[in-house]
Amino acid sequence: MPRKRASRNAQSPGVFGQRRRPSKMFRAGIYARVSTHDQQTIPLQIRALREYIIQRGWTIALQVKEVGSGASERQLREKLLEAARRREIDVVLVWRLDRWGRSVADLLTTLQELEHLGVGFVSLTEALDLTTPAGRAMAGLLAVFAEFERDILRERVRAGLDHARQNGQRLGRPKTAALQADRVRKLDRAGISKAEIARRLQIGRTSVRRILG
């Protein structure tokens, strides 16, 4: 009995709607994070994420484990983002959304960067798969919540400034800002990445980008 030819329309879905050849095997980057008081769950996260990758027929290109607490800076997460920027991974897998993002705004910013790079994102616990149309629709909802969060923060900042003015407090950039700018520019001239400059000087990457223009 002759073999049936595969339909030309039967193509494997790509990351964020981009078509890829069916023979392409996704290279996955695993990110596992726990608090300093809950380190025993790292093996659980890693095992579940690796099993998922095997089920999808993908391959593991990078695995990152990070220990921290609260909304602290996720420094090792940058390794995965750098790998994505170098096109070394095709999809990022996490155990839960709060393992990846410090806030809704931070989560959305990183997801938008991954989308721009053509890299997928999967959160296992929430069954959120941004390589699918339904998952991308969920990302749109996250954008709404992120804007809501930013509005609340802006209102709090304005209220704080008004309160400070009413109490006669002087507002404006501290005198050390110029010194910090000099350090940023010096490290930039030395070829240090913006993310590393922010980490060394303990300032936000947005501040670094603003200083460097």
Q: Are 111 and 91 in contact (CB under 8 A)?
A: no
CA distances from 67 to 12, 33, 37, 186 (A): 36, 6, 9, 31
**Residues annotated as catalytic (active site), given as ranges:** 35
- Stretch (H or E) spanning 32: strand 27-34
Which amino acid, one-letter code, is at 69? S
DSSP string, 131-171: TSHHHHHHHHHHHHHHHHHHHHHHHHHHHHHHHHHHTT---
Spatial distance between the Cα atoms of 113 and 148, rounded to a whole number of angstroms = 20
Pick the closest to residue 122 from 22, 28, 13 (CA basis): 28
Instruction: Output phi, psi for 6, to 5 deg.
Output: -65, 140
